[in-house]
Amino acid sequence: MPPLAHAGHWAVGLIYLAPVAILVVTLLVIGRRDRAAEAEELRQEQIDAGQG
């Protein structure tokens, strides 16, 4: 029965890892969204400056 016991150890490890993984993914998504918003704002400012 060692494979089942080994799977149990992995399951416990994943339970502890899940909140950390969720936090990391959330921070990555927020960072990507902020960079996209800044890029769009810069593009809009360049368009506005060109029209002025």
Q: How far apart are CA 47 and CA 39, in angstroms?
A: 12
Measured distance between the N- and C-terminal CA atoms of the chain, rounded to whole angstroms? 75
pTM, entire model: 0.67
Q: How far apart are CA 46 and CA 52, in angstroms?
A: 10
pLDDT digits over 7-50, tens only? 888 888 889 999 999 999 999 999 999 999 999 999 999 999 98
